[in-house]
Structure 1
Amino acid sequence: MSWPKVGILLASLAIEIAVISWSAFDPLLKLGAPITDVRGITFAFSNMDVWLLSVAKSCLLCLLLAPGRMKTLPPGTPDSKKGWQLRLKAVSWLPSIYELLLIAKAAGVAVLSPEALYPAWTEGEDAGHPFVGLLAMYAGICAGLCMSVIESWCALGLIIALPPSRTSSEARESQQAEGITTDGEFAGAGKERDKRNGEGDDAALRAPLLEAAEEGRGEGPGARKAGANGVGRSVSGKGNGKDKEEDAKKGVQSKTVWHLLQLSMPDWPIITVAFLFGIAAALMQAVIPYYTGLVIDYASIEPDRQQFKATILKLVYVAAACGVLSGGRGGLFTVAMSKLNVRIRKTLFAALVKMEVAFFDVSKTGEITSRLSADTSTVSDQVCLNLNVLLRAATQAAMVLGFMFAASWRLTVITFILVPCVMFISKVYGRYFASLAKNVQSELAAANSVADEVISSMTTVKAHAAQDSANAAYANKLERFFSLLIKEAIVYALYMCINTFLPAFVAAVVLLYGGTLVLAHAMSPGALVSFMLYQQSLSSAFQMMGDVFSALTAAVGAADKVLELIHRKPDIPPEGTLVPASFEGRIDLRDVHFSYPARPDSLVLKGLSMSVAPGEVVALVGSSGGGKSSIVKLLERYYVPQMGEVLMDGRDIGVYDPKWLKRKVALVSQEPVLYARSIRRNIIYGLEPEDGVEPPSQAEIESAARQANAHDFITSFPDGYDTDCGEKGVSLSGGQKQRIAIARALVRNPQVLLLDEATSALDADSEAVVQEALDSVMGGNGVPRTVILIAHRLSTVQNADRVVVVGNGRVQESGSHQELLDGGGVYASLVRRQITHKTPSVTSLAAGSAGASISAHPSRASLRG
């Protein structure tokens, strides 16, 4: 329970009861009126009805918030959850109904009550009635309204903080019913899960955007622990999905506005000047009806030609000043909007590049790019644009209300009933529209994801003639998106109907009562005209607030998703800062257990242990899916193991400075990625001045290219090293891209080199050229280098110092090529299998040992691993 909110709630209730009791009883006691007299509780002459309302509301609120009532039913039962939802609705609606009744009381006092400010006995038709006075009347009403807003906020916070939850035994029974089991190797799952679920705001910020991702992570074993640095991770079961989503929505919505303000803080000088311009423009706007009323009086009621012309001239000056100030305000807010747009994009992109690889495994690229493109624009444009309009309307309304009170406080109170009506309707509408807008953004992101998937693999689509099914999949997503847009349009139309009718209705009431005052000579015709113009200006201001409300809620819905990504913490432990004076390149994996976040139920490595000495060349072979590539990914720290240690030079790789480590450990993957930049910049990728390092010299770049057997073809291009590679290296062949990737690894002069099937995707000619480069690299060229390679070519495996056979998540065999062949184990079986089942890339095998034949053409012999 949030005790600060309890304290605020009790304090506000006490203040409300105290002020309303004073306003109801003190004046009557001073007048000597009997409190039990029926005349003392009439609608227009006392606050006894307000006091009764306040007491009834306070008692109901306390009953709804009584903690003991939550324990009447077992936690987690349907009746318990239904009761909690009913109480949540009651706490939400009770203050609103109370506030509307107080507003009705205020309007009645304005029409029916006399002018006396404090206790008096009324005269005339109401002679003999004790009148507590306008000061006491409105003091009690205002206290009730202000305290009710505070009480509503506290009460909702307390109810939301105490949702019905399942007991741990019920949770376990639910998991068993859903078929979720816990791997025996991962004990203590419940405690880890409870700890993770208790993380609060961080977990809340992560959950709703990536519902599919989180649910995918939540289908595995109960908990998983990190390795050497002892950082724990856990994955909750399926049953927590909805609860996590609800908790996330509550946490994000309560923080979204604050986070947006934080992002806007660097522009506070511009926003401040724009706000001052807005105040001045609103003042000018409010003065226009005043001068208009004077013009009417000077033209008809009290004719005065000189004053008439002077007032017209003042009216023109005021209108011109209003236009200049409004333009300045709009321009400054547009500048702030542009700066916020760029800042949000930079912040989001910086957050994305810090995410762990597992995040991208379970998140669709289309959804992420939709956040980066569409949602960031929605946030900056809609928030700033509508904040501009909202501030202008609010300032205009405040200024106009001041002039209206000066003209006629009674008419102003009657008009002011528009404010709570609009707020009440906006509150109900906003709750529904916010969730609807969020669903619209989600469906649009899903549609963009389908389009991105198809467009990025168009050759595959055309190769399989799948255009029709692609169109159908995209159309299906757009249909769901369109249905939500239609629902959104209907809701908005209903809201606008009500919001447009209310100002006209209030204007009619004001004219009725104002005309009565004019006929009674209590108000001049010019003053009534000015007041009606004020009333129209006020209605326009509140209508603008209503218009921007839906846009702001949509922007906040998009902001929720953006902020979820910005504030999401990577699941892997924080990176270290260690930069040792020396680095030998010793590698150790000790009892490593690992499963991918996208497939948490399937362990890829099951207690794998292996060591690689400095300068040793180790070849990893084995059947597909055995865990070879996973070892490389763990060494690159794309992931962290659930159990075990991944060490380099006796230290966990997580303690090293990541930028330093990537210069010492280089990777050449099976499908290298080049970027739409020059060959030179692709080779020094990650070593540019923006990366905070001294870029390699041209001589170092050319030396790396020569080692990679790439210098000759690079210099054959007209632009040489300045040749543009095109998007994803489309201008180059597969072999050329692979050799540039090797040069990119070598230019770092790494101590450890990881080769993940670097030639498997190449044709025979390209493979031979690239293999020559790899042989040269592994030879070291005089530089001792630790090499771990995953290869299918037998000649490469033969040249390795040691062969490690990886299968079923464990090391099955380890030794030299000849030792393993002589042993007749798994490795020898792999060789024999390739002899029996020849592939196009395996032409023949010639004798090696242990009865196996080794190819007469070793450059083409292969060992599929």
Structure 2
Amino acid sequence: MALNGGRESMGSDRRQIILTPVMRTATGLWLTWTIKLSITTFTALYPLRGSLWRLQRFADIAELYSLAGSNLDVWLLSVAHVLVLAALLSRVTSPYRRFSGLVIPPPYSKMSHGVYWSCTLFELLLLGKAVVVAVLGEEQLLPPHPGDQPASRGDVGLLCMYVCVIVALLCSFMEGWLGQRIITQRRKQHEAADEVSGGGSSQQPLLGGKGKVAQETDSATIPALIKLSAPDSHILFLAFTAGAAAALGQALIPYYTGKIIDYASIDPEPHAFRITTLKMLGMALGCAIFTGIRGGLFTVAMTRLNVRLRQQLFASLMAQDAGFFDTTKTGEITSRLSADTTTVSDQICLNLNVMLRSATQAAMVLAFMFTASWRLTVVTFVMIPLVIAICKVYGAFYRRMSKKVQTELAEANSVAEEALSTMTTVKAHAAEDSTMTAYAFKLHRFYLLQRREAIAYGLYMTTNTFLAAAVVAAVLFYGGSLVLKGAMSAGSLVSFMLFQQSLSSAFQSLGDVFSALSAAVGAADKVIELMRRRPAVEESGTLVPTTFAGKVTLQDVSFYYPARPTLRVLSGMSLVVNPGEIVALVGPSGGGKSSIVKLVERFYLPDEGRVLIDDRPVAEYDRKWLKQRVALVSQEPVLYARSIRRNILYGLEEEDGLPAAELPTQEDVEQAAGLANAHDFICALPEGYETECGEKGVQLSGGQKQRIAIARALVRRPAILLLDEATSALDADSEAVVQEALDRTMKSRTVLVIAHRLSTVQDAHRIIVVQHGQVAEQGSHDQLLEAGGVYASLVRRQLARGPSTNRLLPSASSASFTGGLL
């Protein structure tokens, strides 16, 4: 009972904590409703305070109400809208229904759509009311005095009318946002309750792998981009200032145009005509200069953001664990690093430029339009929410499509990159046709998505263009009526039409910017997620011991590769390699031998057990310090497009953070190359140690690359040497030379060697047979042969194919270690 009571108390506390955000949002919604109803009630009823007694009968209400002069309809619509929202949200916030013991959550999606469409309908009705008042309303700013108001009229004045409409509009926007937040928060509460009751749910990491992905929603992308752009705030401020000046010039040009028409034809004034023309020319010149300054500054900011994005993304990729690259295609990563970063920086800065220019231009043009004719301005202003609504719907769709398009393009690039990087294999198997088919299939999927995107864009442009033309026609018709009535001059109408075209252009640009920014943010989502991805193997060790013996220990290690989470590679593996001991790992392929080396290198983390060096966990050591003392020579060494000298010094250069006193000298490089049997062939090359290796070392043979890799390991003066099939990919002659180099390097070091040719490891201090992720048997070569187990079986099979004469340990005639590399 006590336990159950404790659980109920904990559940109550959890519900209270989860409900707190909902309660805060609901409080904001109630405050919005209070403001909305208070102001709409006051502006609707206060001007009628002398006639409120007439509201008792419907006939009197009909006489008191007029579509263009009364805002009783706005008040009643506001009350009805509040009741509808309250009914919808009460269904979401009410306790969950139960049916046959099952908890039935509210229909969140339906409620969300209900809130959205009720607010949209309410806002459209308010805009229609504003247009009717602008066209039919009287030129009366304040409501009449109760004693002066005619008995059959209910005019409230333009001030009360538009205050009521604007407040209702703003509150509707806030109600829609708060209502959606309440629905989202309640949905999260329900999902959290399901997760607690269901024991949690697994979450897929970004792009595969076991990395700890920072859980960010799309809304976190914009703040991240703003933070990345913060160092360029001074450039952006200057660009915005120049853009504001250019927008002012663009707004004044229609004004001077109307004046010139008036001075030239309606009311001729030659002197004023010439002066105004010169003013317009000067304004156009200033506008052009500031436009160029704005564009140049935004281009600089765009380039700086591009460089910053690439650097930070590349730094994040460099910090990722090996499991991330096992589960993520190289083409996908390079697509993010090249195409997506360019899309983000170019689109963000370019469209930010256009957005600031268009917004400033729209604000200034509206100010001039109100001075010309407030009635025409209200009619024109109706297009703004329509364009914004269309852009919002299209932008959401375009953003989803953009993510899909970027993903399909990345997959197509991955297919091409995989084929291009292994072209010799493709040609050797005559697989060009199937490779092109696979690439064409990915491109076809990309094309289908682009086609859908194009259809959506066509519908968007059709609707947007028609709306702009319809607004122009309405403004011309109504403006012409005002000119015929003598309410405005022909020049003012021309100026207003130019203002209207400028405003239409500004909002058209804002619509295009919104769509483009949605595409950029869609591309930025993956970039930001990659930048924020925390690797599964985090390097936080700081240990730098004064002595380092080189003892390697695995204690009950179990391991799964991230790319194959259901296949156990090591199962309770335990082994100890003592300082100065040569231990060979042999056994069938897939038994887990290479996985042991990768765990010692800390490319991966064991799922169970510990990996120790000198009886300390590998994670405690400083990563760079440890990599200088644990050297790896793999089966397929990788060389880079740099000189042989820099390939040997890879990771030991000044840029890698080494103190000047610890940087290897040219003598150290040559000595390491000599021990690796590489010095002679390097000196025979035309440029010696400065010879370029080419991409992936294509200028060198396999044996030469392997010997350079050995020299790269030896120049570190390692205490532990890891040899992973270092000779298995070589021909007999190259193998003999490389094996001789390996034999000369093993003295006085802890060596863990993996080999399939058992004759090369028969003189190891200890041979460990690894099978099915466990130690099957271990001992010396003679002991294992006498035991007649797995090792003896492997030896018999290899002897049947012909023995190798190579041996692991040096003979009496072999050169011994000299110099300071021991």
Work out whether the TM-score is over 0.5.
Answer: yes
Instruction: Write out per-residue CA displacement over residues 829-863 of structure 1, whole angstroms, 9 at most, x where no aligned residue.
Output: 22223234x16xx36899xxxxxxxxx9xx9xxxx
Instruction: Write out per-residue CA displacement over residues 710-729 of structure 1, whole angstroms, 9 at most, x where no aligned residue.
Output: 11111111111100000000
The answer for the alignment partner of 2:178 in structure 1 is: 154
1:513 paired to 2:533: no
The answer for the alignment partner of 1:603 in structure 2 is: 568
Instruction: Write out per-residue CA displacement over residues 660-714 of structure 1, whole angstroms, 9 at most, x where no aligned residue.
Output: 1111111111100000000000001011111101431111111111111111111
Query: Contact 1:76 / 1:165 at 8 angstroms: preserved in 2?
Result: no
SS at match of 2:722: strand
Alignment of 1:372-383 (within 5 A): 372-383=337-348
1:711 paired to 2:679: yes
Higher mean Cα deviation, 674-683 or 299-308? 299-308
1:26 paired to 2:46: yes
Residues 430 and 29 from structure 1, CA distance in 2 versus in 1: closer, same or farther, beyond 3 angstroms?
Answer: same
The answer for the alignment partner of 1:259 in structure 2 is: 224
Structure 2 CA distance for aligned equivalents of residues 74 and 654 of structure 1: 53
Higher mean Cα deviation, 384-393 or 827-836? 827-836
Structure 2 CA distance for aligned equivalents of residues 22 and 582 of structure 1: 84
Structure 1 CA distance for aligned equivalents of residues 552 and 54 of structure 2: 93
1:137 paired to 2:161: yes
Query: Contact 1:375 / 1:562 at 8 angstroms: preserved in 2?
Result: yes
Instruction: Write out per-residue CA displacement over residues 529-561 of structure 1, whole angstroms, 9 at most, x where no aligned residue.
Output: 111111111011111122233222211111112
Match of 1:86 among 110, 114, 138: 110
SS at match of 1:595: strand
Match of 1:820 among 784, 789, 795: 784
Structure 2 CA distance for aligned equivalents of residues 759 and 75 of structure 1: 69
Higher mean Cα deviation, 437-446 or 43-52? 43-52
Residues 654 and 76 from structure 1, CA distance in 2 versus in 1: closer, same or farther, beyond 3 angstroms?
Answer: farther
Structure 2 CA distance for aligned equivalents of residues 337 and 92 of structure 1: 36
SS at match of 1:26: helix
The answer for the alignment partner of 1:548 in structure 2 is: 513
Structure 1 CA distance for aligned equivalents of residues 651 and 103 of structure 2: 56
| C-alpha displacement of 1:415 | 0.6
Structure 2 CA distance for aligned equivalents of residues 460 and 763 of structure 1: 19
1:368 paired to 2:333: yes
Alignment of 1:484-523 (within 5 A): 484-523=449-488
Structure 2 CA distance for aligned equivalents of residues 700 and 16 of structure 1: 80
Residues 253 and 792 from structure 1, CA distance in 2 versus in 1: closer, same or farther, beyond 3 angstroms?
Answer: same
| C-alpha displacement of 1:593 | 1.1
| C-alpha displacement of 1:10 | 3.0
Structure 1 CA distance for aligned equivalents of residues 565 and 383 of structure 2: 56
Query: Contact 1:620 / 1:628 at 8 angstroms: preserved in 2?
Result: yes
The answer for the alignment partner of 2:431 in structure 1 is: 466
Query: Contact 2:759 / 2:804 at 8 angstroms: preserved in 1?
Result: no
User: Letter of the aligned partner of 2:361 in structure 1?
Assistant: Q
Alignment of 1:12-91 (within 5 A): 12-29=32-49, 34-36=54-56, 37-66=61-90, 67-69=92-94, 71-72=96-97, 83-91=107-115
Alignment of 1:425-464 (within 5 A): 425-464=390-429
Higher mean Cα deviation, 388-397 or 101-110? 101-110
Residues 334 and 609 from structure 1, CA distance in 2 versus in 1: closer, same or farther, beyond 3 angstroms?
Answer: same
Query: Contact 2:105 / 2:190 at 8 angstroms: preserved in 1?
Result: no
The answer for the alignment partner of 2:134 in structure 1 is: 110
Instruction: Write out per-residue CA displacement over residues 389-409 of structure 1, whole angstroms, 9 at most, x where no aligned residue.
Output: 111111100110011111111
SS at match of 1:117: coil
The answer for the alignment partner of 1:757 in structure 2 is: 725
| C-alpha displacement of 1:33 | 5.8
Structure 1 CA distance for aligned equivalents of residues 323 and 100 of structure 2: 35
Structure 2 CA distance for aligned equivalents of residues 763 and 843 of structure 1: 12
Match of 1:748 among 716, 720, 739: 716
User: Letter of the aligned partner of 2:690 in structure 1?
Assistant: D
The answer for the alignment partner of 1:723 in structure 2 is: 691
Structure 2 CA distance for aligned equivalents of residues 610 and 595 of structure 1: 18
Say how many residue pairs are matched: 782
Residues 263 and 844 from structure 1, CA distance in 2 versus in 1: closer, same or farther, beyond 3 angstroms?
Answer: closer
Query: Contact 1:75 / 1:167 at 8 angstroms: preserved in 2?
Result: no
| C-alpha displacement of 1:601 | 0.6
Residues 562 and 30 from structure 1, CA distance in 2 versus in 1: closer, same or farther, beyond 3 angstroms?
Answer: farther
User: Letter of the aligned partner of 1:158 in structure 2?
Assistant: I
The answer for the alignment partner of 1:533 in structure 2 is: 498
User: Letter of the aligned partner of 2:744 in structure 1?
Assistant: S
SS at match of 2:672: helix
1:692 paired to 2:657: yes
Match of 2:605 among 640, 645, 652: 640
| C-alpha displacement of 1:70 | 7.0
| C-alpha displacement of 1:61 | 2.4
Structure 2 CA distance for aligned equivalents of residues 100 and 609 of structure 1: 73
Query: Contact 1:604 / 1:626 at 8 angstroms: preserved in 2?
Result: yes
Query: Contact 2:97 / 2:104 at 8 angstroms: preserved in 1?
Result: no
| C-alpha displacement of 1:99 | 1.7
- Percent identity over the alignment is 56
Alignment of 1:187-206 (within 5 A): 193-194=200-201
| C-alpha displacement of 1:100 | 1.7
Alignment of 1:283-294 (within 5 A): 283-294=248-259
Instruction: Write out per-residue CA displacement over residues 384-428 of structure 1, whole angstroms, 9 at most, x where no aligned residue.
Output: 111111111111001100111111111111110010010011111
The answer for the alignment partner of 1:657 in structure 2 is: 622
The answer for the alignment partner of 1:357 in structure 2 is: 322
TM superposition score normalised by structure 2: 0.90
Query: Contact 1:378 / 1:555 at 8 angstroms: preserved in 2?
Result: yes
SS at match of 2:555: strand
Query: Contact 2:48 / 2:146 at 8 angstroms: preserved in 1?
Result: no
User: Letter of the aligned partner of 1:549 in structure 2?
Assistant: F
Query: Contact 1:80 / 1:164 at 8 angstroms: preserved in 2?
Result: no
The answer for the alignment partner of 2:793 in structure 1 is: 829
Match of 2:553 among 584, 588, 592: 588
| C-alpha displacement of 1:57 | 2.2
Structure 2 CA distance for aligned equivalents of residues 533 and 76 of structure 1: 67
Structure 2 CA distance for aligned equivalents of residues 52 and 349 of structure 1: 59
Query: Contact 1:617 / 1:800 at 8 angstroms: preserved in 2?
Result: yes
| C-alpha displacement of 1:574 | 4.3
Structure 2 CA distance for aligned equivalents of residues 805 and 25 of structure 1: 94
Match of 1:10 among 30, 51, 55: 30
Structure 2 CA distance for aligned equivalents of residues 52 and 390 of structure 1: 37
Query: Contact 2:587 / 2:756 at 8 angstroms: preserved in 1?
Result: no
Structure 1 CA distance for aligned equivalents of residues 316 and 564 of structure 2: 24
Residues 98 and 303 from structure 1, CA distance in 2 versus in 1: closer, same or farther, beyond 3 angstroms?
Answer: same
SS at match of 1:700: helix
1:738 paired to 2:703: no
| C-alpha displacement of 1:613 | 1.4
SS at match of 1:774: helix
